[in-house]
C-alpha cells in the first residue's frame, strides 16, 4: 500500500537488481527508507540518505544514537551533557541550549514523534533502523529540518509470537537488561512490548567528593506498539514511548582531565511520555489517506557546577587538593591558595508537543497527467509549549519563561515520468510559523512568519545498475527574539535563515551485486545564517560573572563537499563497509560586537564542521555462526564555537566485536575505542575559569567515551 515507483521503468529495473541473488544464493534484502512520503529503497531514493540497520546497531554494540552517527558522512554531534543531544549535518546544527529557546536545524523523529532537542531518549534498544537524511527537507518536514532529519524506527508488532531477552555487562560498572515480546493478540490485532534499563558509573572521577559515579548513566526506555487491521483497506497503529533518563553531568575539569573537583555535580535528566496514532486507509484504488497524530510530554533537567571546583585551592606536592578550609599546613607544604567563585546553574524545562499530519497519496489508478504522475497533498498542524525555570546562584529569584510555537502548513509533491528513464519530482511547502514568548524579566516577543520551501529533483536510470539525480532544494528555519535582558538592542532580534542546496548524486549496484555505492556532491548557500554567539562578561577582578549568549545572523555561509558510502562483499564471508565525507564551510561577511569591540569571522570555518569524517568496518564470517568485526572511525579537527577559535583535535578510534550467533541465542565480546584515545566532543574558550592562573583565558574540553569493553548476549524464544 506504500510502495513507490508504481508501474515505472525505474521500479522494474531496480527491483530486478534488488532481488537478484548472490553466487552463494543469499538474496539481496532491500533497505527501505520510511521517512519518505512513500516507503522507498535506499538505492532508489534520489537524495543522500544513510540507513543504519538493526544489524549495524548490533555490530557496534551501540546503546545510543551518538554511537552510530559515524556511519553517516558529514554528520557530527555535540555533547556538553551526558549524551550527544544536538546534531550537525553538513556543518549545520545547534550545539547546546541554555536560557534561550532553540529553533532546530536537524530534526529528530522517533516512531513518528517529534523529539527534536530531546536526544536523551534516542536509545537504540529494539530499533529496526536509523535513517539519516542529509540536506534540507523543506517539503516533508519544514522548519525542523533545515539541514536534515534523523528518523528512528523501532521494530513493529509481528503476527508470529516471538521475543528475546538481552543482557550486557562491561567496565565502569556498566550493565543492561532488556527484553521484547511480540505477537498476535487477536485475529486482526498484533502487539509488541520492549523494555530496557542501562546503567553505568560513567567515565569521570570526582576528586573532591571521592566519587566515580558523578557522570552516571541511568536510563530506562519502554515502547509499546499495537497494530490493528480494521478492514482490508484500513490499518491503525498505536505507539507509546516512555523514557526515564536520570544521568549525571560532571564533565569539565579545570585541568582538562577526567578528574573533576566539583562540589555540586550536575544532572542531565529527562522524563518523557509520548504517543502516536497512525491511520492508513485506501479510500479507493486511486487515493490513499495517511493520518499521523502525535503528542509528547517531557520534563527535563540540565544542571552543572559552573565553577567546576570547590572554593579554595591548596597545592601539595604539585598536585591540586581541594578542601573547604583555608590552607592547612598540617597536610603538607602549602604553596598557594586562591579564593574562587562558586556557582550552580539549573535549567528545568517542560515540553508539550502535539501535531497532526493528514495527507492524500495517489494510488495505482490515481495517477494524473496522462497516467504519468504520482502526487501527494497534505496539511500539517503543530503546537509546542516550552516552559523554563532557571535557578542560578547569582539570580535573586528564579528566572521563568514561556514559549508557545504553532505551525500550520500545506504541502504537495508531484513525481512525473518524463520518459522511460527520466523522472521529475517537484515539491512545495508553505508554512505559517508563530512564536509567543514572555519571561520574568519582562521580555515579551512575538513572531509571525510565512515560510516557503521545497525541492525539484531530476532523476535518471543510467543503465540497469546506476541511478543518477540532480536536485535543487530550499529549507528554512524561523527567526526569533533573544531573551537576555542585558543583550544590546542591536542583537535583540534575529532573522529567518534559508538554506539553498544543489546536490548531484549517483547510486550504483556493481560487481554482480557484490558492491553497492552511493556518491553525492553538494553546494549549500546559507542566507541570513543563524549563529550562536557567546562571550563572558567579567567583573572588575576579571572573573566571569555572566555570559552574553545570543543568536545573530551572519550575512551568508557556504558549505560544500562530497560524500561516499559503500558496502562490498569482497568474498562470500568478508564484507567491507566504508563511509567518507569531505566538507568545506565558511562564513561570508560575518562580524559582531562585544564589550571589547568588533569580532570578524569572515572566511572562518563554521562550528562543529570537520573537514573530513570517515568510518570503515571489515566483517569476517569465520563460520556460519562465528564472526569478527574490526572497525575504525576518524574525524578531523573542528571549531567548537562560532564565538571563539578553540578547536578539537583530529582523532581515529578503533572498535572490535566477536560474535557467536545461533537461531535461539547469541553471545558477543565487544570493545570500543580500543586504544583509549582521548577525543573531544564539546569545548569552550574565550574565558578563564581557573583562579590559580588569575582566570587567564583558556581552552576547556569534554572527552568522549574512553576504552569500553564488555560481554552481551541474547536469548530468543
> For residue 233, which phi and psi values (nearest 5 degrees)?
-115, 0
What pLDDT is attached to residue 481?
83
Q: How far is CA 330 from CA 153, 314, 334, in A?
A: 61, 12, 9
Q: Can you read off the three cell numbers belonging to residue 265?
A: 555535580
341 compared with 716, residue with greater pLDDT: 716
State yes or no: pLDDT of 13 exceeds 80. no
Among 69-73, 440-444, 629-633, 677-681, the range scoring the smallest mean pLDDT is 440-444
Cα 211 to chain centroid distance, Å, stands at 30
Contact 123, 152 (CB under 8 A): no
Average pLDDT over residues 74-86: 93
State whether residue 461 is helix, strand or coil. Answer: strand
Distance CA(474)–CA(26), nearest Å, equals 41
| DSSP SS3 for 269 | strand
DSSP type of residue 265: -
What pLDDT does 47 receive? Answer: 95
Percent of the chain with pLDDT over 70: 88
What DSSP assignment string belongs to 480-532? EE---TTS-GGGSEEPPEEEEEEEEEEEEEETTTTEEEEEEEEEEEEEEEEEE
Q: Between β-strands 444-461 and 466-477, what pairing exists: parallel, antiparallel or unpaired?
A: antiparallel
The yes-or-no verdict on residue 11 having pLDDT over 90 is: no
DSSP bridge partners of 243: 221, 272
Residue whose entry in the numeric block shows the C-alpha cell 511480540: 182
Residue 219 and residue 198: Cα distance in Å, rounded? 5
Q: What is the chain's percent helix, strand, coil content, to nearest 5? A: 5, 60, 35
**Span 592-612, mean pLDDT?**
84
Contacts of 128 (CB under 8 A, 6+ apart): 53, 54, 153, 154, 155, 156
Give the whole-number percent of the chain exceeding pLDDT 90: 73
Segment 541-553 mean pLDDT: 67
Q: Return the number of other C-beta atoms located less than 10 Å from residue 548's C-beta.
A: 18
Per-residue pLDDT averaged across 584-598, rounded? 80
Is the sign of the CA dihedral 85, 91, 92, 94 positive or negative?
A: positive
Q: Residue 328: its pLDDT value, please? A: 53
pLDDT given at position 448:
92
Mean pLDDT of 329-351: 70
CB 566 within 8 A of CB 573: no
Read off the pLDDT of residues 151-188 as tens digits, 9 standing for 90 and up.
Answer: 999 999 999 999 999 999 999 999 999 999 999 999 99
Query: 124, 65 in Cβ contact below 8 A?
Result: yes
The more confident residue out of 485 and 22 is 485
**CA torsion angle for 415, 420, 422, 424 (degrees, to 10)?**
-20
Q: Residue 425 CB: number of other CB atoms within 10 A? A: 20
Which pLDDT score is estimated for 333?
43
Can you tell me whether residue 479 is helix, strand or coil?
A: coil
Pairing of strands 515-538, 497-510: antiparallel
Give the pLDDT of residue 2: 41
Residue 29's pLDDT is what? 54
Question: Which contiguous run of DSSP H or E holds residue 124?
Answer: none
> Can you list the domains of the chain with their CATH numbers?
9-307+342-716 (2.40.170.20)
Residue 510, pLDDT above cutoff 50 = yes
- Output Rg (C-alpha) for the chain, integer angstroms: 26
Across the chain, mean pLDDT equals 89
Is residue 322 over pLDDT 90?
no
Cell 604553596 found at: 335
Q: What is the DSSP letter of 176?
A: E
**CA–CA distances in Å: residue 223 to residues 110, 181, 228, 242:** 11, 11, 17, 6
Whether 493 contacts 530, CB under 8 Å = no
| pLDDT the model gives residue 340 | 62
Task: Look at residue 101 in the predicted model and tell me its pLDDT.
Answer: 83
Band (pLDDT 50/70/90 cuts) for residue 536 is low
Q: Give the span between the Cα atoms of 376 and 2, in whole angstroms.
A: 12
C-alpha cell at 55: 544489524
Dihedral sign, CA of 207, 208, 212, 213?
Answer: negative
pLDDT at 65 over 60: yes
Confidence (pLDDT) at 553: 83
Say if residues 439 and 469 touch (Cβ distance below 8 Å): no
The predicted pLDDT at position 330 comes to 53
DSSP 557-576: EEEEEEEEEEEEESSSSEEE
Q: Give the residue among 304, 396, 400 at the shortest CA–CA distance from 350.
A: 400
Amino acid at each position: 500500500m506504500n510502495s513507490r515507483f508504481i508501474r515505472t521503468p525505474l521500479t522494474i529495473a531496480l527491483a530486478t537488481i534488488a532481488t537478484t541473488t548472490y553466487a552463494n544464493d543469499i538474496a539481496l534484502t532491500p533497505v527501505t527508507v520510511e521517512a519518505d512520503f512513500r516507503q522507498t529503497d535506499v538505492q532508489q531514493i534520489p537524495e543522500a540518505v544513510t540507513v543504519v540497520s538493526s544489524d549495524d546497531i548490533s555490530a557496534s554494540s551501540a546503546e545510543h544514537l551518538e554511537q552510530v552517527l559515524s556511519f553517516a558522512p558529514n554528520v557530527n554531534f555535540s555533547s556538553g551533557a551526558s549524551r550527544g543531544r544536538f546534531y550537525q549535518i553538513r556543518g549545520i546544527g545547534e550545539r547546546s541550549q541554555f536560557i534561550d529557546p532553540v529553533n532546530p536545524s536537524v530534526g529528530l523523529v522517533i516512531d513518528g514523534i517529534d523529539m527534536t532537542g530531546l536526544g536523551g531518549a534516542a536509545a537504540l534498544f529494539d530499533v529496526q533502523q536509523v535513517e539519516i537524511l542529509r540536506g534540507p527537507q523543506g517539503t516533508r518536514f519544514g522548519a525542523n529540518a533545515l539541514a536534515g532529519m534523523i528518523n528512528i524506527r523501532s521494530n513493529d508488532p509481528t503476527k508470529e509470537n516471538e521475543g528475546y531477552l538481552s543482557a550486557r555487562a562491561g567496565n565502569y560498572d556498566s550493565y543492561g537488561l532488556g527484553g521484547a515480546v511480540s505477537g498476535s493478540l487477536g485475529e486482526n490485532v498484533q502487539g509488541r512490548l520492549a523494555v530496557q534499563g542501562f546503567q553505568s558509573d560513567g567515565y569521570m572521577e570526582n576528586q573532591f567528593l571521592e566519587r566515580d559515579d558523578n557522570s552516571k548513566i541511568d536510563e530506562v526506555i519502554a515502547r509499546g506498539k499495537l497494530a490493528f487491521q480494521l478492514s482490508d483497506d484500513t490499518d491503525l497503529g498505536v505507539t507509546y514511548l516512555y523514557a526515564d533518563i536520570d544521568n549525571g553531568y560532571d564533565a569539565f575539569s579545570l585541568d582538562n582531565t577526567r578528574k573533576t573537583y566539583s562540589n555540586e555535580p550536575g544532572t542531565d535528566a529527562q522524563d518523557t511520555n509520548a504517543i502516536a496514532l497512525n491511520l492508513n486507509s485506501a479510500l479507493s484504488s486511486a487515493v490513499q489517506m495517511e493520518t499521523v497524530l502525535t503528542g509528547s510530554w517531557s520534563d527535563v533537567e540540565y544542571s552543572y557546577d559552573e565553577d567546576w571546583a570547590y572554593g579554595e585551592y591548596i597545592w601539595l606536592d604539585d598536585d591540586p587538593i581541594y578542601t573547604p578550609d583555608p590552607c592547612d599546613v598540617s597536610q603538607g607544604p602549602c604553596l598557594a591558595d586562591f579564593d574562587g567563585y562558586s556557582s550552580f546553574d539549573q535549567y528545568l524545562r517542560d515540553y508539550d508537543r502535539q501535531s497532526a499530519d493528514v495527507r492524500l497519496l495517489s494510488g495505482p489508478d490515481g495517477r494524473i497527467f496522462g497516467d504519468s504522475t504520482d502526487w501527494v497533498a497534505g496539511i500539517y498542524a503543530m503546537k509546542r509549549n516550552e516552559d523554563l525555570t532557571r535557578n542560578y546562584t547569582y539570580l535573586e529569584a528564579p528566572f521563568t519563561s514561556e514559549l508557545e510555537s504553532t505551525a500550520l502548513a500545506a504541502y504537495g509533491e508531484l513525481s512525473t515520468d518524463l520518459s522511460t528513464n527520466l523522472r521529475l519530482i517537484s515539491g512545495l511547502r508553505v508554512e505559517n510559523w508563530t512564536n509567543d514568548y514572555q519571561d520574568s524579566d519582562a521580555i515579551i516577543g512575538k513572531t509571525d512568519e510565512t515560510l516557503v520551501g521545497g525541492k525539484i529533483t531530476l532523476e535518471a536510470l543510467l543503465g540497469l545498475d546506476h541511478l543518477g539525480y540532480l536536485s535543487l532544494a530550499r529549507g528554512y528555519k524561523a527567526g526569533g527574539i533573544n531573551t537576555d535582558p542585558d543583550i544590546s538592542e542591536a542583537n535583540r532580534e534575529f532573522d529567518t535563515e534559508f538554506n539553498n542546496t544543489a546536490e548531484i548524486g549517483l547510486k550504483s549496484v556493481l560487481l554482480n551485486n557484490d558492491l553497492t555505492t552511493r556518491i553525492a556532491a553538494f553546494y549549500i548557500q546559507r542566507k541570513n545564517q543563524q549563529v550562536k554567539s557567546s562571550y563572558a562578561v567579567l567583573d572588575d577582578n576579571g572573573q566571569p560573572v555572566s555570559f552574553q549568549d545570543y543568536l545573530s545572523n551572519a550575512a551568508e555561509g557556504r558549505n560544500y563537499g562530497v560524500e561516499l558510502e559503500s558496502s562490498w562483499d569482497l568474498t562470500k564471508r568478508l564484507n567491507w563497509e566504508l563511509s567518507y565525507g569531505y566538507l568545506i564551510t565558511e562564513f561570508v561577511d560575518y562580524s559582531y560586537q562585544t564589550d571589547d569591540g568588533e569580532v570578524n569571522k569572515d572566511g572562518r570555518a563554521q562550528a562543529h564542521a570537520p573537514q573530513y569524517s570517515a568510518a570503515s568496518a571489515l566483517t569476517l564470517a569465520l563460520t556460519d555462526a562465528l564472526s569478527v568485526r574490526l572497525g575504525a572511525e576518524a574525524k578531523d579537527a573542528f571549531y567548537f564555537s562560532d564565538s571563539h577559535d578553540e578547536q578539537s583535535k583530529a582523532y581515529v578510534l578503533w572498535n572490535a566485536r566477536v560474535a557467536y550467533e545461533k537461531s535461539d541465542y547469541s553471545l558477543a565480546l565487544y570493545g570500543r575505542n580500543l586504544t583509549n584515545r582521548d577525543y573531544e566532543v564539546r569545548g569552550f574558550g574565550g574565558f578563564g575559569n581557573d583562579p590559580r592562573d588569575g582566570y587567564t583565558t583558556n581552552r576547556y574540553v569534554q572527552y568522549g567515551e574512553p576504552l569500553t569493553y564488555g560481554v552481551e548476549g541474547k536469548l530468543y524464544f
